[in-house]
Amino acid sequence: MAIQRHDVGPRMSKAVVHGDTVYLAGLTADKTAGKSVGEQTKEILSLIDHYLKECGTDKSKLLRANIWITDISKFNEMNKEWDAWVSPGNTPARATVEAKLAAANLNVEIMVVAAK
């Protein structure tokens, strides 16, 4: 099966397509870095939409999601954005845990696998 990579950097690619499985990188906020969990989540979800589209798919085909938040007490704040964003009836298998992230101004990271 062919491998197609998108937004390929020297460290990682933002999206990798293998056959009809799409692996996105752990995405974090850019414009909203330093802002609230809700704002960062919203930006990350729009980045996921963007990369899924680049790979020829969309959120209705999400298979799996891993979410890390730096403060698990903000779980509901993150979920508010997530619940509003997911495709009803097409929600992925998901796990959310607390973890410190690569930069101090980031409070959410989301990594998904989708079908194509």
Residues engaged in binding a second copy (CB under 8 A) = 1, 3, 5, 8-16, 18-21, 23-26, 61, 63-66, 68, 72, 75, 79, 82-83, 86, 88-102, 109, 111, 113, 115
- Smaller CB distance to a second copy: residue 36 or 85? 85
From the CB of 90, what's the least distance to a second copy, in Å?
7
109 C-beta neighbours (distance < 10 Å), count: 20
The span from the CA of 96 to the CA of 116, in Å, is 24
Q: By three-state DSSP, how is residue 56 classified?
A: coil
Q: How far apart are the first and last CA of the chain?
A: 13
From the CB of 76, what's the least distance to a second copy, in Å?
10
- Smaller CB distance to a second copy: residue 25 or 45? 25
- Smaller CB distance to a second copy: residue 50 or 61? 61
β-pair partners for 4: 17
Encoding tokens for residue 37?
């969990």
